[in-house]
Structures are given as structure tokens and as C-alpha cells.
């Protein structure tokens, strides 16, 4: 049969960015085809060039400092015919964007206009590219919001972006991108801010759009597991280059490049209990000529030795044996003497003593709803409704639940960034809810937070070094100015950044790098307790593994206690000693993490576990067969 003509053909795309330190090559000689009805996933770490490639296709790279040095992107537009997207003028691109090609951006907070309602921004796109009247466009918007599983879609139509959660903002962006049934949908990390149940629904919606309208999908993600069941082909990018590409089944069952093997191995899995995750650097290194080569032996900085098993059907990572650190080389060389690690017994042995650090008693956070001037009866949204729990010193408590369930509001209320309506927050027997502002500020150096949105959490006018240094100066800790700066440089190295980043500004970093900066700032004061609000949701899997390993190492070394808020159940399983499951402002299930995952009691918990992406080879084969039947 003749090979169908691709709807998009990219050849030798090269993109440079100019800076005062010289030109930086972000993308180099990238080539790929995209056919109608096909889903191609571009996978790689933060800064690998995935998003820059997609922005170039939409004509959204700021020039200067960016420029497309070479390459073509041939696309068949309904309005303009056969065109090179890289050569279009602004007025031509406006006809293509949103109509022929739509994009779901990585960060919804910076993509939605804060002074317009969510509904008006979707209505604007519909009115611009269709003949719908305003009333018809508003009805279509409500329908799109309902398809995106937004709660109370009629109310969100008139809500502003700051009035809804991060996951709900992302769903508004997805609804906007799907509004005009585009020929190509570029999805740049579309499920990063979503919980597993909504993520599963969004992936299904994107796949339905592809199937019903023969839409081509370019799916950009840092998590290979997300695209296991929906992608036809995968491109793996590293440092601006495509290092491997192939069918989704080939990539998962027979990866050739060491970077791909590393990405597959460092993802947390529910079925594996271990205390240390591998990273990409464990699988590859650079030779003298600067070429990537695979490491023949892999070591881990912890006592648990991680072995990677690859065969035709599976790639798995499992903890095999426990040895002192100095014996790792002997183990890797084949010495098998030692005790077999039982993850559950190890977790029980390392369980913290019952020394309560934080006790929450009947905490309520209610937000009033305005119903008009003549409505005297107050109504409230019960974001947190009678929540009680304890956190023991030196343990990690995971808090999971769907977007909008009240997780973030609860975390903010603990630090009184949101004022509680009622209840007590006992931190070392001091009720934070009753403290005056001055005393509360002094106690906050012991109780820090890593926020969900790294873009909004950093001041764009301050360098990275100043942002990390600021809390040390406010609380007068860290010694002299020279000692404080040395501490900042050490923190940058700790979270995987370089000392030279000290003088750079937040806009010079990718989303994942900004989140690492936020984590370094939270660690600056060496707090006793850290609330991590989706602190690794914006990170690629390898950097996520580094950060999770770092948080666990700090927990062991300094006895730091964590409330770990996340929508990723695999991450929660890896990090948590105990688990709290939250739904509609209430804790519906709690208990030891292993027990909750092995034997969930509440229907809501079972629903969350069932929605986790399936990336086993048998699941991928079934998905490939199903998609072949559809064609």
C-alpha cells in the first residue's frame, strides 16, 4: 500500500538562542513526520528541546533572542494550502493557530489571562475561528468544560483563573485547544498538573479527538509511562538532538540508547518497594570526544543495590541485595553474599517513633460564595471540612486526591497562607492558628513550603542566588554574607544546578529547573517540616528521581518531616510512610502506605489506583492492536 502523505514534515530543524554568554543551540537537526490520525510522542528531560521544537512550529519563539537557524516544517493548511510554518508572517500564523494547529501549553497559569474569565477566553477563540454567535460560543464552551470534567462548568465559565485550582486551569487550557477540532494538536505536558483520574480522562479525550476528527497529535512529555498506551511512535530527545525513535512497543521493550534505558528505569512504580531511585547518569557517560556511551557498571550511593533487567518483554528495576556502600563494586562484579532486602520489613524497621511534630484537629477552611446584594443567607465552599491527623517527627505523610479536593488549601492553611475558618494546628504543641503575625513569622523558618507553581513562586526581578539567599537574610541565619553565599552555592549543587546559575534570572530556566530552585530555597533555613505541594510534578523523571532521593537523604540525615502533597500515586508510594486520601475536603482513608496500596478500603481510593497509566508490555501490545483495528 502507498505510504500516506504526512500532514507535517519537519526537516533539519535547528534553533539557537543568543545571550551575553554566547549562542546556545537548543535544537539541532531534528527531523520527523506526523501523519493524520497519528500520535507521536516527544520524550526527554527538561531542557532537551521538546517545548522549543513545538513553539517553533507555532511561530512562538521570541526573536530575538531565539532564531530558527535552519530547517523546514511543511504543513498542509486548510486556509493557506501547502506552507512552510517557519516562513509564515504573523497574519498568516494567526489563521493557522487555534484553527489548523492548537496547542496545550505546559504552564496554564501563565497561559491564561488573569484579568479575563476562563469562559471568555475560550469564547474568544471560538468567535475568532468560527461563525458561532456569542450565545452559541458560550454554550459550546460549557460543553467543552463538561467534556474536560470540570466541576460546575457553568460557574467556571464566569470564574477567573486565580479562583480555580492548578489542575482545573490545565483542563480549561485543554478545552480551549480542542474547541475548533484542529488538524494538529500539540500537547506540551498537558497532564503534568492533573491527578491520575483526570489525567486518564484527558488522555482519553485527546485520543477521542484524534479518532473522531482524524487529528494528528504531537504529545510532549517527560514521562514515558504517560504515553505508553496512546502513542504510535516515540522520539527521545537529549540536549537538542533526537537520540532514538521508533514504535512505542520497540521503545519500551527493546530500547537501544542508554539515555532511553535510563528514562525507563528511573520511574517510580507501585509494584516495587525501594529506598533509592536510579538516575540517567547511572546509565551513560561522556567519552573524551564528548560522545554519549553506556556505562558497563552502575553503582548507587545507598546501601541498596539496584539491578536493571532488560529482556524482550520487559524492563524492570528491583532491589536485589543490601550491602555497605564500599562493597557495591564487589556486588556489581558478581559477589552475591548478603541479605535479601525485604522492602516492607525495611520500612517497618525505619519507621519513626511516635513523637508527634504536627497535630491537626478538626481543621476547616470555608470560602464564601457571593450570591448577590439581596441574598442575606451566606453560602460557602467547604474546601477543607473537619480534617484531623497527626504527623510524627521524621516521617513522610503523603496526601493524595483529585484536583480541587482541598489538598493545596490544606497545605497552605497549615502555614496560615490561607486563614483557617476553625480548628487547631499544633506544631510542637504551639497552636499556629492562634499565633500573632510576628510570632508566626519567626516560627515559619521551622516550617517551610515548596509551592506547586514554580513560575509564580519566584520573583522575576531577583536572581536565583538572591531568591535562595533572601529567607536566610530575613531570619538572620547562615553566618556572614560570605558563609550565606557559600551555603546558596552548596544548595544549587545539591538540587542538580550549577554555581554559575547564581546570577541568572528565573526566565532563563526551564520549568523543571525553576522547581529545583524553589526546593533549594525551602531547604535554605534547614526547617523541621516541609510541605511539598506537587513539588516534583513539573520535573522530568530523572530529575524527579534525583529530588526524591535528595528529600529522602535529607530526611535520614537531618530528621526533616514532610507532608508530601501529590497527584502521582507512584511517587506517593515511593515517598510515604503513611498515606492520607482526600476527597471533597475530607480525609476518606488513611493508614500505612503499603497497606493502603495493597488493600484499599474506600471506593475512591480504588478508583485512584485503577486510573494509574499502564505501561507493561502486555498493556502496550493491547493498545497497539486496538489502534490498528481503528485504522
Grid cell digits, residue 200: 486518564
Give the cell for residue 291. 560522545
> Which of 434, 416, 415 has the alpha carbon at shortest distance from 424?
434
What tens digit of pLDDT does each residue of 169-206 get?
878 888 888 888 888 999 888 876 667 777 787 788 78
Evaluate whether 514 touches 506 at the Cβ level (below 8 Å). yes
Query: What are the residues facing 397 on neighbouring strands?
Result: 563, 578
59-63, 225-229, 374-378: least confidently modelled range: 374-378
Query: What does each C-alpha distance from 533 to 267, 448, 574 come to in angstroms?
Result: 20, 11, 16
Report the percentage of the chain scoring pLDDT > 90. 24
Are 232 and 40 a contacting pair, CB within 8 Å?
yes
Give the lowest-confidence range in 109-123, 148-162, 262-276, 302-316: 302-316
Alpha-carbon span 340 to 357, nearest angstrom: 33
Q: Residue 193: what are its φ and ψ, rounded to 5°?
A: -95, 10
Does the pLDDT of residue 324 top 80, yes or no? no
Q: Is-contact 554 523, C-beta < 8 A? A: yes
Q: Is the pLDDT of residue 43 over 80?
A: yes
Domain residue spans of the chain: 8-231, 263-345, 356-599
**Cβ contact 360:389 at 8 Å:** yes
Q: What is the pLDDT of residues 104-159, one digit of tens each?
A: 887 776 778 889 999 999 998 888 888 889 999 999 999 988 887 788 888 899 99
What is the pLDDT, as a whole number, of residue 555? 84
pLDDT digits (tens, 9 = 90+) for 342-354: 344 344 444 444 6
- CATH class of residue range 8-231: alpha beta
The two domains 8-231 and 356-599 share their CATH topology (first three levels equal): yes
Share of the chain residues as helix, strand and coil, in percent rounded to the nearest 5: 40, 25, 35
CB 588 within 8 A of CB 602: yes
User: pLDDT tens across 413-439, in order?
Assistant: 999 999 999 999 999 888 999 889 888
Q: Is the pLDDT of residue 5 over 70?
A: yes
Q: CA-CA distance, 268 to 516, in Å (whole number)?
A: 19
Using CA atoms, how far apart are residues 73 and 32, in angstroms rounded to an integer? 10
**What architecture is the 356-599 domain classified under in CATH?**
3-Layer(aba) Sandwich (3.40)
263 and 43 Cβ atoms separated by less than 8 Å: yes
List Cβ neighbours of 474 (8 Å cut-off, separation of 6 or more).
none
Distance CA 402, CA 198 (A): 8
pLDDT at 18 over 60: yes
User: Are 527 and 448 spatial neighbours (Cβ–Cβ below 8 Å)?
Assistant: yes
Contacts 24+ apart (CB under 8 A), 198-203: 198/149, 198/167, 198/171, 198/402, 198/403, 199/226, 199/567, 199/611, 199/613, 200/611, 200/613, 201/148, 201/149, 202/148, 202/171, 202/174, 203/229, 203/230, 203/613
Count Cβ neighbours within 10 Å for each residue of 559-579 and write b for 16 or more, e otherwise. Answer: ebbbbbbbbbbbbbbbbbbbb
pLDDT at 125: 86
Model confidence band, residue 373 (pLDDT cutoffs 50, 70, 90): low
- Identify the burial level of 254 via C-beta atoms within 10 angstroms of its C-beta, where 0-12 means exposed, 13-18 middle and 19 or more buried: middle
pLDDT digits 0-9 by tens, 462-494: 999 999 999 999 888 888 889 999 999 998 887
Q: Is 620 helix (H, G, I), strand (E, B) or coil?
A: helix
Q: What is the overall mean pLDDT for the chain? A: 80
Q: Residue 587: its pLDDT value, please?
A: 93
Q: How confident is the model at residue 320 (pLDDT cuts 50, 70, 90)?
A: very low
Amino acid at each position: 500500500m502507498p505510504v500516506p502523505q504526512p500532514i507535517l514534515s519537519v526537516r533539519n530543524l535547528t534553533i539557537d538562542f543568543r545571550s551575553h554568554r554566547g549562542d546556545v543551540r537548543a535544537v539541532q537537526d531534528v527531523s520527523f513526520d506526523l501523519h493524520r490520525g497519528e500520535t507521536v510522542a516527544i520524550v526527554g528531560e527538561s531542557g532537551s528541546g521538546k517545548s522549543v521544537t513545538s513553539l517553533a512550529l507555532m511561530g512562538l519563539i521570541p526573536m530575538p533572542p531565539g532564531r530558527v537557524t535552519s530547517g523546514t516544517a511543511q504543513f498542509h493548511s486548510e486556509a493557506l494550502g501547502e506552507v512552510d510554518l517557519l516562513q509564515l508572517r504573523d497574519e498568516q500564523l494567526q489563521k493557522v493557530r487555534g484553527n489548523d494547529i492548537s496547542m496545550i501549553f505546559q504552564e496554564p497559569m501563565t497561559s491564561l489571562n488573569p484579568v479575563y474569565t476562563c469562559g471568555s477566553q475560550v469564547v474568544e477563540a471560538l468567535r475568532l475561528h468560527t461563525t458561532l454567535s456569542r450565545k452559541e460560543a458560550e454554550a459550546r464552551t460549557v460543553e467543552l468544560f463538561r467534556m474536560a470534567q470540570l466541576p460546575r462548568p457553568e460557574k467556571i465559565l464566569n470564574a477567573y483563573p486565580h479562583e480555580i485550582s492548578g489542575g482545573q486551569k490545565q483542563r480549561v487550557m485543554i478545552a480551549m485547544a480542542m474547541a475548533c477540532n484542529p488538524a494538529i494538536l500539540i500537547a506540551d505536558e498537558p497532564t503534568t498538573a492533573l491527578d491520575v483520574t483526570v489525567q486518564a480522562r484527558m488522555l482519553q479525550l485527546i485520543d477521542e479527538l484524534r479518532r473522531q476528527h482524524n487529528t494528528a497529535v504531537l504529545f510532549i512529555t517527560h514521562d514515558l509511562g504517560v504515553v505508553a498506551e496512546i502513542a504510535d511512535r516515540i522520539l527521545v530527545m537529549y540536549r537538542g538532538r533526537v537520540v532514538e525513535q521508533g514504535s512505542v512497543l520497540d521503545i519500551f521493550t527493546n530500547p537501544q540508547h542508554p539515555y532511553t534505558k535510563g528514562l525507563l528505569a528511573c520511574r517510580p512504580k507501585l509494584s516495587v518497594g525501594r529506598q533509592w531511585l536510579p538516575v540517567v547518569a547511572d546509565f551513560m557517560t561522556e567519552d573524551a570526544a564528548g560522545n554519549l556511551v553506556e556505562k558497563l557498571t552502575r553503582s548507587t550511593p545507598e546501601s541498596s543495590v539496584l539491578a536493571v533487567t532488560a529482556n524482550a518483554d520487559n524492563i524492570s528495576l528491583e532491589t536485589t541485595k543490601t550491602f555497605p556502600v564500599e562493597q557495591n563494586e564487589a556486588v556489581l562484579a558478581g559477589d552475591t553474599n548478603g541479605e535479601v532486602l525485604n522492602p516492607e520489613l525495611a520500612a517497618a524497621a525505619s519507621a519513626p517513633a511516635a513523637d508527634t511534630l504536627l497535630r491537626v484537629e478538626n481543621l476547616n477552611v470555608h470560602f464564601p460564595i457571593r450570591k448577590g446584594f439581596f441574598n442575606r443567607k451566606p453560602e460557602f465552599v467547604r474546601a477543607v471540612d473537619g480534617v484531623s491527623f497527626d504527623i510524627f517527627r521524621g516521617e513522610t505523610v503523603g496526601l493524595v486526591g483529585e484536583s480541587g479536593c482541598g489538598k493545596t488549601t490544606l497545605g497552605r492553611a497549615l502555614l496560615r497562607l490561607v486563614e483557617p475558618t476553625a480548628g487547631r494546628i499544633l506544631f510542637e504543641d504551639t497552636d499556629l492558628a492562634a499565633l500573632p503575625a510576628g510570632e508566626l513569622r519567626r516560627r515559619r523558618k521551622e516550617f517551610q513550603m515548596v509551592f506547586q507553581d514554580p513560575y509564580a513562586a519566584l520573583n522575576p526581578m531577583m536572581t536565583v542566588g538572591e531568591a535562595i539567599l533572601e529567607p536566610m537574610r530575613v531570619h538572620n541565619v547562615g553566618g556572614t554574607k560570605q558563609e550565606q553565599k557559600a551555603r546558596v552555592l552548596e544548595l544549587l549543587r545539591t538540587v542538580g544546578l550549577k554555581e554559575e546559575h547564581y546570577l541568572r534570572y528565573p526566565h532563563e530556566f526551564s520549568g523543571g529547573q525553576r522547581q529545583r530552585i524553589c526546593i533549594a530555597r525551602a531547604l535554605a533555613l534547614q526547617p523541621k517540616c516541609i510541605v511539598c505541594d506537587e513539588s516534583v510534578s513539573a520535573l522530568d523523571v530523572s530529575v524527579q528521581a534525583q529530588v526524591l532521593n535528595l528529600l529522602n537523604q535529607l530526611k535520614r540525615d537531618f530528621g526533616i518531616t514532610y507532608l508530601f502533597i501529590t497527584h502521582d500515586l507512584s511517587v506517593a508510594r515511593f515517598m510515604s510512610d503513611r498515606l492520607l486520601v482526600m476527597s471533597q475536603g475530607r480525609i476518606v482513608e488513611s493508614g500505612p502506605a503499603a497497606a493502603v496500596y495493597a488493600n484499599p478500603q474506600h471506593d475512591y481510593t480504588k478508583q485512584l489506583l485503577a486510573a494509574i497509566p499502564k505501561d507493561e508490555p502486555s498493556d502496550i501490545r493491547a493498545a497497539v492492536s486496538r489502534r490498528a483495528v481503528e485504522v
